[in-house]
Structure 1
Amino acid sequence: MIQGGKYSGISNKKRIRTVDIDTLRGSIYDRNGSVLAEDKHSFELTVIYKKLFNASLCFEQNILPNASEVKKLETNHHNLCRECHVDKVMWVEKVAGLLDISYTDVFNKAVKIVKKVKRVKNVVEKRNKRKIRVREETVPHSIFSHVPWEKVAQFEAEMLNLPGIQIESTPVRWYPQGNMSSHVIGYVGKLGEEEIENYDFKKKWFDDLKERGESKSEFFIQKAISMDASIGKSGIEKTYNSRLMGIPGERFEEVTLDTMRVDKLILERPSIPGNDIFLTIDSRIQSIAEKALGNRKGSVIVMDPWNGEIIAIVSYPRYNLNTLNDDYATLSKNPLKPFLNRPVQSILPPGSTFKIITAIAALEENKIDTNTHFQCYGSLKVGNIRFRCNKRYGHGLLNVEEAIQYSCNIFFYETAKVLGGTLLKKWADRFGLGNRTDSGLAYEKSGNFPKSKSIYQTINLSIGQGAMLVTPIQVAGMIATIANGGWRTKPHILQKISDYRGNILVNKKYKLTEKIWISEKNMDLVKHSLRKVVTSGTAKDTNLKELLVAGKTGTTQTAREDENHAWFVGYTPFENPKYCFVVVVEHTKGHGAEVAGPIVRKLLTQIGI
C-alpha cells in the first residue's frame, strides 16, 4: 500500500458519520385554509450519545457526588477513576454554566436518555435474538429544547471547546389557535415507556407506500421511527399520524474525532415533509360554538345534514395545546376530566331526544298511527311499578304529534307496550345509536343499546333512559337523518389530504347513499312535530321560533337527584335545513330547554341563519 502509514493516521483522526435531517410534520387546516397546527423552528442543544453514556455511568456509579444529596453539584476531579477521565464529564459543567442551570439537571437528563436508549436496545435485541448496536447509540440526543437566541450565540462562541455538542434548529409543533379545537386537533409527544415496549420499529407509517412501489428495505431505512420522533397522541394528530409524519433526510459528514467538528459534507439526502390535513371544521363557527357553551361541562356539535361534514365540534373543559407540557400534571388531576373529548367519548342516556326514534319505529311498524290516542294522567302503573310523566297532573288525551310536542312520557310508555323491545332496538340500530360513527376522531366510544329483557326495561328505553348509552356524535347523526328526510348520515371530519406540493391525495366527497325507508307521511309528521316543539311545545320559551328551528329537548336523570344532563337537538331552517346541531350540558341542575336552549339561540344567532 502506497503511503499506508499516512492514510492510516488520517483514518484514526477522522470518521464518516450519518446525521438525520429533521423533516416537517404536515400541517392541519380548517375547511377554509386557516392553520390549526403547524411546525415552526426552535433551537435545541444536542449531545452525542457517548458523552451522555459516560456522564450517566459516572453519576450512577457514584464516581461523582449524588445529585440528590446536594443542591449544587461540585465535581471532584480526584474521585474520578482512570477509566472515566475528567474530560468525559467536564462538558456538564460548561453546559450548566452557559444555560444557568444546575449540574443536577444536566446529569438527570443524561441518565434519562441513556435509560431510554437501553430500553429501545433491549426491545430490538429481544426481537432479533442477537446483540445489535441500535441507531439511538450513534446519533446526538436533545437534552434541552427552546434555547433562547442569546444562549445560542453564547454556545456558538464556545463550540470549539465543546466537541460533540451542538445547537441545532429543530421543528416543534405550534397551534396558532391556542385552546380552540384542542380535542379535535390533539397533540404530539415522544414515545413513552409502554409504547417503546410494544412498538414495532419496522412499522409501516405511510398508507400509500405500496402504491408508490417502494421496497421494504428502503422504507425501513428512511421512515422507521426513531425514539426522538414526535408521534400523534390524540385527536387528528393521532388518527392521521401516518399521513402527517414526514420522511427524515440524511447527511453524511466527515468529522475530526478530537473536536467532532465537520470538515466536509460528503452527501445529503433531503427530507420530505409530511402530508397536510384539511378538516371540515369552520374556525369561525367553531369559535362561536365554544363561546356559546362557555364554561359549562358538555358538548356542542354543528353538522351539515346533507353530507355529514362536522362544521364545529366542542368539548368543555378544554386545554391549551401550546402549554400542555407545563399544564399536564394539573390537568390530569382535574376531576372535570379536560382530556375527555365529550362529543365522541361521553356516553350518556339520550333522554327524551330518543322519543323521535320510538315514534318512527311505532309508526313504521304500524303499531300506532295518527289516530292513536293515549290518556296521560301523570303516571302509569305497570305491574307493581309506577312510571311517571314530566307533568305531574298529566297532559290529557294526546296523539303522537302532540306527545312529541309536549314530550309526554305516558304516551311513549303506552307505545312501548305495543311496540316491544326488539323492534325498538331494530330502529335504534338503523339510526346508528349505540354504534361508533367512525368520524375520524380518536378514541371514539360506541355506547350501548341493550336487548330488552322485560316490559319495564322497554318502557325505560322508550324515553331514552335506563341502560341505553349514546354519544353526542351519534345523536348528531340521528337528527341529521331526520333533517334530510331519511338518508343515513355518517358524521366525518376529514375533508382532504394533500402532499407538501399541494397535490391532492385524498378528497372526501361524501354522498348520502343509504336510505332508511320511512314513509313520506310519517317523516313529515315527525318533522312537523319537531317544529311544534319550538313554536308551542317544550322549547317555546327559547325564542327560537323566528330562527326557523325544529328540534327536541331532553332531560336525563343521573345518579344524583339534583343533577341532570340537559339536551337540545335539532336543525335549521325547517324547510331546507343547512345545519343540524346537538347541545348537551352534563350534570346540571336545570332541564333541557332551560339550560341548552339559550346556548342554541346564542349559537345560531351568531352563525347567521
Structure 2
Amino acid sequence: MIRRRMKGLLVLCVAGLLILTGRLIQIQLVQTETFSKHNVNLLEESVKQRTQELVIDNGRGNFLDRNGDLLTHKKVSVLVLFPFLKNMDWDMEAVSTISGISENSLKNALEDANKPFAYGEPQPMELTPSQMEKINKLEIPGVFAIEKKFERTEILAEQLIGLTGENAEELKKRYSNKDLSEKTLIGVSGLEESFDEFLLPEGKSKLVYHVDGDGAPLFGINVKYVDPANPFYPVNVRTTIDKSLQQKSEELVDQHAINKGGLVLLDIQSNSVLASVSRPAINQSDPYSGSGITNRMLKQEIMGSIFKTVVAAAAIDNNLDDPTRLFDCSKKINGDPELKYNYGMLSFTDSFARSCNRTFGELAKELQKIDKNMLEDYAEKLSLTGKVGWQGEVYHTDNFKQLVDEDKGRVFLTEEAKKDQNYAAMSGIGQHEVRATPLAVANMMATIARGGKKEMVRTASKIEYKNGTTMVTFDNKALSGDTISPYSAMKLQKLLREVVVNPNGTGKWFQDLPYEVAGKSGTAETGKYENDKQLHNKWFAGYFPYQNPKYALVAVNLDVQDTEGGVNLLFADMVKMLYEYDKGLQKY
C-alpha cells in the first residue's frame, strides 16, 4: 500500500517536472517573442527589467514641409541627466556655469528622477552649440548634451498628416513578413497611414545603461549609445505643405470661427497642396474621440451653387449660352414666385454672376434631354467626381495612393434619378444627391485656371533617404478621362471673373483685393436643422491672380444657419495674406 502511494507520488512529481520543463521551454525557447494570448515579447521585457534608456529618436520616418523643415517633430539640443548622478560626486558647478541652470535646480530635478531625462521636459531648455560642446568636453558619466527628437505640441495640418499608434494585431496583419517589435508605431490615418511602409523604423537611437533591482548601475556608470547606424533610414517624406502658409491659414480659420469646415490651398502650376486646414481640430487628450480625426477637406459635402460651374461648362459646349436669351429669375426652379432672390430677367452671364437657381435648373433639364449622363460627364471632365489625389506605381505597389482617406464625389445615385426632370433641376443647382470634396472643388478651379488641363493633386513631392538623396519622386501626373476644351475653359474663366466684377455678383466683396479673383459662391441646404432652423454649407471657391493664375483656394463652413457663418471674409484674408507673402511685405 505504502509502496503504491510512493509510486503515485513519484509519478506526480515527474509529471510536474515535465510540465515545468515544458513551460520553461515554451518561455525560454519557443514563445520568446509572442508569449501568451497578449503576444508579449519576453526578450524585450527582460531587457527592460535590466536597463534604463532614453530614446533620442524613435526611428520612424519624418514629414518635412516643401522647404525641408520638420512638420510633426522638432530636434532640440538638450541636457540629459541620468538618475545615478544623485548618488555620485560630480562636477555640478561646471555644468551649472555652462548651462545657466542653477545647482539647486539640477539637484531637485535629479531627486525626483528614476530614469534618464532631458532637463526641463516636457518643455526642455535648448542648449547652444557652444554649450553642448563645453558640456560634453567635461566627460562626466551620466551627463550628456545631445540633439533629441520631440513631437511638437501643436502639429500643423494634423488631419492631413494623420496619427500613429501601437496595434500589434494590425502590425502583424500588414507586415507579417517583417521582424518588428509589437510596440512599433504604425500609421492609422492620413499620410502616416499612406506612407507607413516607408516610415517603419529600422530601430531606435537611444542612451542605455544597465541597472540592478534597485535601479542602481549594474556595470559601473558606463552609458551605451545604441543606433541602427543606417545611412539611408529613417526616410523623410517631403510634403508640398508650406509650413509658414499652413500656420497662417490655421490662424485665419480659427480667427473666423470655422467650427466645422476649413480650407484647401493649391499651387496651380505644380497642382500641390500648400495648406490644408480641417476643423474641428483633433482632441489631443483623446485623438480618436469626436470627429476631429476626420479630414473634412477629403470628405464629400453638399456644394450648392458651386456645381453651376459644371452646368455652365455643359451649356457652353451645347450652345445653350446664347447671350440674347433671358431667363426668368423672378421664379424658383419649380415655377413658384421667388420672393427672396427676385432678380427679374437675366442673361446667362448675369445668371451665373448672381447665381440664379431658375436659370441653372432650366439648363440642367435641357441638358438631361440631350443626354441623361451629361451632368455626370462634365463633372468628371472638371475632376469633380473622381478621386483627385496622386496615385500610381511606387516600387512593388501598383496603385499607391497619397490620400487613402479621400472620398469620391457624385451627381446621381440611381439611373432613375437621371431621367427625372425635377431631380435634374435640383442637381443643376448642386442639391439633391450632388456631392464633392473641398479638395476636388479646389482642383476643379485649378483645372479651369490651367485652360482645362486636369492633373492629380500632390501632397508629397518625394521621399528622401536619411542622407538627403532621393528615394522616390512623385511627378505631376494627368488625371485620366475626358477634359473640357481650352475654349470652354476660357469661357468659364470669364464667367468666374464676372462673379466678382459684376456689381451684383455674389463675389463682389472681392473687387478691391490686391489680387484679381475669379470664383464661385455656394450655399447648400443640408437637410439638417438646429433650433428649427435649416442648416447650410457655405462655400467660396476660386483662383487668383486672374491673369496669371497661381493659387486655387476653397473655403467652406459646414452646418451653419443661413444668417451666419459666411466664408467671404476668410477667403479675402487669405488672398491678402498670400499677396503680402509673395511680395515679401510680411514674413510668416
SS of the residue 2:566 aligns to: helix
Equivalent position amino acid for 2:560 in 1? T
SS of the residue 1:588 aligns to: strand
**CA distance in structure 2 between the aligned counterparts of 1:465 and 1:453, rounded to whole angstroms:** 16
Give the C-alpha shift of residue 462 in structure 1: 0.6
Equivalent position amino acid for 1:202 in 2? S
Q: Are positions 1:596 and 2:567 aligned together?
A: yes
Give the C-alpha shift of residue 364 in structure 1: 1.3
Matched with 2:377 is 426
In structure 2, do the counterparts of structure 1 residues 455 and 27 end up closer, same or farther at CA, with 3 Å as the change threshold?
A: same
**CA distance in structure 1 between the aligned counterparts of 2:439 and 2:493, rounded to whole angstroms:** 20
Q: Deviations over 1:190-224 (max 9, x none)?
A: 116x536x625524xxxxxxxxxxxxxxxx4xxx2
Matched with 1:88 is none
RMSD: 4.1
**CA distance in structure 1 between the aligned counterparts of 2:434 and 2:241, rounded to whole angstroms:** 29
In structure 2, do the counterparts of structure 1 residues 586 and 544 end up closer, same or farther at CA, with 3 Å as the change threshold?
A: farther
Equivalent of 1:230 in 170, 174, 185: 185
Matched with 2:465 is 499
Q: Is the 8 A contact 2:71 2:155 kept in 1?
A: no
**CA distance in structure 2 between the aligned counterparts of 1:283 and 1:250, rounded to whole angstroms:** 27
Q: Is the 8 A contact 1:565 1:591 kept in 2?
A: no
In structure 2, do the counterparts of structure 1 residues 413 and 233 end up closer, same or farther at CA, with 3 Å as the change threshold?
A: same
Matched with 2:345 is 397
**CA distance in structure 1 between the aligned counterparts of 2:386 and 2:483, rounded to whole angstroms:** 20
Equivalent of 1:349 in 292, 302, 313: 302
Matched with 1:444 is 406
Give the C-alpha shift of residue 23 in structure 1: 5.8
SS of the residue 2:373 aligns to: helix
Give the C-alpha shift of residue 597 in structure 1: 0.7
**CA distance in structure 1 between the aligned counterparts of 2:148 and 2:189, rounded to whole angstroms:** 17
**CA distance in structure 1 between the aligned counterparts of 2:514 and 2:476, rounded to whole angstroms:** 31
SS of the residue 1:35 aligns to: coil
In structure 2, do the counterparts of structure 1 residues 302 and 474 end up closer, same or farther at CA, with 3 Å as the change threshold?
A: same
In structure 2, do the counterparts of structure 1 residues 340 and 170 end up closer, same or farther at CA, with 3 Å as the change threshold?
A: farther
Equivalent of 2:170 in 179, 192, 195: 195
Matched with 1:508 is 474
Matched with 1:338 is 292
**CA distance in structure 2 between the aligned counterparts of 1:150 and 1:579, rounded to whole angstroms:** 42
Equivalent position amino acid for 2:571 in 1? V
**CA distance in structure 2 between the aligned counterparts of 1:459 and 1:44, rounded to whole angstroms:** 71
Compute the TM-score of the two structures, normalised by the length of structure 1. 0.64
Q: Is the 8 A contact 1:542 1:598 kept in 2?
A: no
Q: Is the 8 A contact 2:381 2:483 kept in 1?
A: no
Unaligned segments of structure 2, at least 5 residues: 1-28, 30-42, 49-54, 83-109, 122-144, 391-401, 583-588
Question: Mean Cα displacement is larger for which, 306-315 or 435-444?
Answer: 435-444
Matches within 5 A, 1:2-151: 24-38=59-73
Matched with 1:407 is 355
Equivalent of 1:270 in 215, 224, 228: 228
In structure 2, do the counterparts of structure 1 residues 230 and 146 end up closer, same or farther at CA, with 3 Å as the change threshold?
A: farther
Q: Deviations over 1:27-72 (max 9, x none)?
A: 2110112211247699999xxxxxxxxxxxxxxxxxxxxxxxxxxx
SS of the residue 1:403 aligns to: helix
In structure 2, do the counterparts of structure 1 residues 145 and 517 end up closer, same or farther at CA, with 3 Å as the change threshold?
A: farther
**CA distance in structure 2 between the aligned counterparts of 1:314 and 1:145, rounded to whole angstroms:** 39
Matched with 1:245 is 200
Q: Are positions 1:480 and 2:480 aligned together?
A: no
SS of the residue 1:556 aligns to: strand
Matched with 1:535 is 501
SS of the residue 2:490 aligns to: helix
Aligned-pair identity in percent equals 26
In structure 2, do the counterparts of structure 1 residues 36 and 368 end up closer, same or farther at CA, with 3 Å as the change threshold?
A: same
Compute the TM-score of the two structures, normalised by the length of structure 2. 0.66
Matched with 1:302 is 265
In structure 2, do the counterparts of structure 1 residues 502 and 456 end up closer, same or farther at CA, with 3 Å as the change threshold?
A: same
Equivalent of 1:377 in 330, 343, 346: 330
Q: Deviations over 1:286-308 (max 9, x none)?
A: 12211221131212111012331
In structure 2, do the counterparts of structure 1 residues 508 and 195 end up closer, same or farther at CA, with 3 Å as the change threshold?
A: closer
In structure 2, do the counterparts of structure 1 residues 388 and 563 end up closer, same or farther at CA, with 3 Å as the change threshold?
A: farther
Q: Deviations over 1:408-450 (max 9, x none)?
A: 1001111011101411111112223232223523422224332
Give the C-alpha shift of residue 544 in structure 1: 4.6
Q: Is the 8 A contact 1:401 1:525 kept in 2?
A: no
Matched with 1:607 is 578
**CA distance in structure 2 between the aligned counterparts of 1:250 and 1:280, rounded to whole angstroms:** 28
Q: Is the 8 A contact 1:530 1:551 kept in 2?
A: yes
Q: Deviations over 1:213-247 (max 9, x none)?
A: xxxxxxx4xxx221111112222222111112232
Instruction: From the two aligned structures, give the one with the greater helix fraction.
Output: 1
In structure 2, do the counterparts of structure 1 residues 247 and 392 end up closer, same or farther at CA, with 3 Å as the change threshold?
A: same
**CA distance in structure 1 between the aligned counterparts of 2:479 and 2:176, rounded to whole angstroms:** 39
Unaligned segments of structure 1, at least 5 residues: 1-14, 46-97, 102-143, 152-168, 204-219
Q: Are positions 1:185 and 2:161 aligned together?
A: yes
SS of the residue 2:548 aligns to: coil
Q: Deviations over 1:66-94 (max 9, x none)?
A: xxxxxxxxxxxxxxxxxxxxxxxxxxxxx
In structure 2, do the counterparts of structure 1 residues 146 and 344 end up closer, same or farther at CA, with 3 Å as the change threshold?
A: farther
SS of the residue 1:581 aligns to: strand
In structure 2, do the counterparts of structure 1 residues 24 and 475 end up closer, same or farther at CA, with 3 Å as the change threshold?
A: same
In structure 2, do the counterparts of structure 1 residues 461 and 513 end up closer, same or farther at CA, with 3 Å as the change threshold?
A: closer
Q: Is the 8 A contact 2:266 2:553 kept in 1?
A: yes
State how many pairs are aligned: 448
Matches within 5 A, 1:447-458: 447-450=409-412, 451=414, 452-458=418-424
In structure 2, do the counterparts of structure 1 residues 453 and 387 end up closer, same or farther at CA, with 3 Å as the change threshold?
A: farther
Equivalent position amino acid for 1:432 in 2? S
SS of the residue 1:392 aligns to: coil
Equivalent position amino acid for 2:488 in 1? N
Question: Mean Cα displacement is larger for which, 20-29 or 450-459?
Answer: 20-29
Question: Mean Cα displacement is larger for which, 571-580 or 27-36?
Answer: 27-36
**CA distance in structure 2 between the aligned counterparts of 1:202 and 1:180, rounded to whole angstroms:** 32
Give the C-alpha shift of residue 355 in structure 1: 0.3
